[in-house]
């Protein structure tokens, strides 16, 4: 594989990037808060949950609560249930998105994700 040319490097640097629009801290179990991010295609994802675990932090796409037949949030085993509203086509894309969001949050708020969950 050859090194990128100066032109290719300049094009990469000029490409629109994902940006952190807002951060709302909320520590509850493994949850550390919610990020709003804007993608280069001018799509804003609001309330992306950010978690920490034994392997470090990760970001997920927004989801919605699953409701039972009485309109309350379903909790079949005591834990609230959530359903995806959008999905990545493969795990590689999901992992890249997660890493990019975590980098943005850590860049703007260096200490909020430093704690590992049990």
For 34-76, write each residue's pLDDT tens digit.
999 999 999 999 999 999 999 999 999 999 999 988 998 888 8
What pTM was computed for the model?
A: 0.80
pLDDT band at 1 (very low <50, low <70, confident <90, very high): low
What structural domains does the chain harbor?
A: 12-108 (3.30.1120.40)
54-59 long-range contacts (CB < 8 A, ≥24 apart) are 54/116, 54/117, 56/116, 57/32, 57/102, 57/105, 57/106, 57/113, 58/98, 58/102, 59/35, 59/97, 59/98, 59/101, 59/102, 59/105
For 65-118, write each residue's pLDDT tens digit.
999 889 988 888 888 899 999 999 999 999 999 999 999 999 999 988 876 544
């Amino acid at each position: 594989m050859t090194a990128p040319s100066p032109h290719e490097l300049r094009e990469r640097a000029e490409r629109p990037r994902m940006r952190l629009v807002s951060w709302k801290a909320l520590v509850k179990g493994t949850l550390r808060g919610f990020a709003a991010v804007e993608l280069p295609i001018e799509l804003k994802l609001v309330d992306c949950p950010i978690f920490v675990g034994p392997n470090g932090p990760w970001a997920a796409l927004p989801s919605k609560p699953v409701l039972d037949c009485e309109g309350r949030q379903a909790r079949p085993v005591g834990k609230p249930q959530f359903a995806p509203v959008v999905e990545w086509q493969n795990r590689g894309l999901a992992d890249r998105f997660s890493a990019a969001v975590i980098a943005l949050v850590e860049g703007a708020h260096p200490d909020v994700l430093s704690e590992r969950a049990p």
